[in-house]
Amino acid sequence: MQRALDFDKTPALGVPLPFFLNVPLFALLAGLLATWAGPQAFASRWNGAALALTHLWTLGILGSAMLGALLQILAVACNVPVGAIRAVSGLTHVLLTTGTLLLAAGFLGWWPAAWISATVLLGLAFAVYLAAVSLALWQRRHQVYRGAREILVPVRGALIALACTVLIGLTLAWSLGLGWPLPDWIDTHVLWGLAGWGGLLLMGMSFQLLPIFQVTELYPKPLSRWLPLLIAGLMLAWTALDASAGMPRLMRETVELLLVGAYTLWAGVTLRLLWTRKRPTPETTTLFWYAGMFALLACAPLWIWMTHGPSPQAGRMLGVVLITGVLGSVVNGMLYKIVPFLLWKHAQDAVIVPDQDPGQARIYLKVLPKMATYIGERAARLQWGAHVAMMLCWTLAAAGWPPAGLLAGPLLIVSATGLAWNIGWALRRYRKALQAMAMLRDSHPELR
Ligand code: HEM
């Protein structure tokens, strides 16, 4: 595994940034919807508000962040830059954003025209993105950095899982739009979406990013080599068992148990690596990783409860913990690393040219804000507190406690506003840094 990233391959700021800006915006929207719908949104998995919230989260918040971050990671960590990246990212972003809004509108209003339009837009968004990324992975297969091979296994698995999730999702939405009976594929859609696309991508990122940014030891080699393959195999086995009639339920449950065990093992190892890291004080991103991994540990008892209950609350709680607690925490925390880094890097690249006189570079470096000043640690920690309160409250709301159902929306609004404020602050700082450097250039003729 490689311990360095090739930051010179960083794509233009306009490539990942719009995806990252979607995160607080869709979170605000989900917060407003949950506030309006109240406890009823959490009462059943199948009511319109619950399905709209699910997809504002999975496509608007998590999907946006993961698609944007992957374009960045493939370039800097794997030497796999995606071709025509500006066109691909711009098109995917617009189609994903409008498609997700329409899908949510379809669920809320039980509105066939919205489902059909969402199917077309989301189908195009994922077709463009997956085709461009698959082409890049194929064309650059011989130039991939040696140390990046291990993370490409979970990344490829995650992309295949995304394609399956989307294909099933599109079929379901198209059927709803045309009033056809729904195929019985919802559990497969959920499994491939959360455990496949979400889980494998997070796992791949953790193998690469935790040792570099959290200064942890490397993951044990057998784990990083075999665990993603085991998970992919278990998901295939689960799907085959689910699709074949007459198989005893016990076989499917055994595969689920192994899947839960695999993810619990990864959470345990990740927590140990974070605990024994070389930096003594946790940063906000570390706290988000802790929140995400503890939430993942909580999924094991929830799965046992759901399987042996059987209780509708347990299923709802498991979904909420996975979406807001595991994936939501890691995505939110990742933004506090990646956004300041990108702004700092692009501010520097705007003025410092390779082979430039080092004296000139030093003059600019004096006015360039340091990376740590783009988002204040205190403000980020406060938002972490709001996020943790929100995820606990959403879990209690899914458990059926009405006061939590009333508070869930407002708490998400608070957390999303905090995140929007912190990212907005970083963008203001970036703009000011560019202005300061322009003024410096005007007042020092030798810099021109
Ligand atoms: C093109 C993208 C997608 C479309 C069109 C889509 C569409 C749908 C539809 C139509 C349903 C079933 C609604 C019903 O039974 O009435 C559904 C359920 C669900 N989808 Fe998606 N989906 C998409 C992507 C995703 C992704 C990427 C994830 C997760 C990462 C996801 C997670 C879920 C979950 C968890 C449910 C079940 C909700 C529940 O049980 O409460 N979907 N989706």
pLDDT of residue 145: 87
pLDDT for the residue 82: 97
315 pLDDT higher than 70: yes
Q: Read off the pLDDT of residues 367-385 as tens digits, 9 standing for 90 and up.
A: 788 899 999 999 999 999 9
Amino acid at 228: P
**147 CA from centroid of ligand 1 (Å):** 35
Gap from CA of 436 to ligand 1 centroid (Å): 47
Q: What is the pLDDT of residues 126-139, one digit of tens each?
A: 999 999 999 999 99
Q: What are phi and psi of 156, to 5 degrees?
A: -65, -40
Q: Which atom of ligand 1 is nearest to the CA of 176?
A: 10
Cβ count within 10 A of residue 114? 21
Phi, psi of 218 (to 5 degrees): -70, 155
- Nearest ligand 1 atom to the CA of 119 is 5
Nearest ligand 1 atom, CA 182: 15
pLDDT of residue 368: 85
Banded model confidence at residue 155, pLDDT cuts 50, 70, 90:
very high
**Calpha distance 71→66 (Å, rounded):** 9
| pLDDT greater than 80 at residue 224 | yes
Query: What is the arithmetic mean of pLDDT over 58-70?
Result: 98
Q: Which residues contact 371 (CB under 8 A, 6 or more apart)?
A: 340, 341, 344
Question: Is residue 354 predicted with pLDDT exceeding 70?
Answer: no
Of all protein residues, the one whose alpha carbon is nearest to atom 16 of ligand 1 is 46
Percent pLDDT > 70 in the chain is 97
What domains can be seen in the chain, in order of their start residue? 7-447 (1.20.210.10)
pLDDT of residue 309: 81
Looking at 179-220, list the stretches that DSSP marks H as alpha helix, in order from N- to C-terminal side. 186-191, 199-213
| Rounded distance between C-alpha atoms, residue 303 and residue 202, angstroms | 20
Residues 83-119: tens digit of each pLDDT? 999 999 999 999 999 999 999 999 999 999 999 999 9
pLDDT digits (tens, 9 = 90+) for 157-211: 999 999 999 999 999 999 999 999 999 999 999 999 999 999 999 999 999 999 9
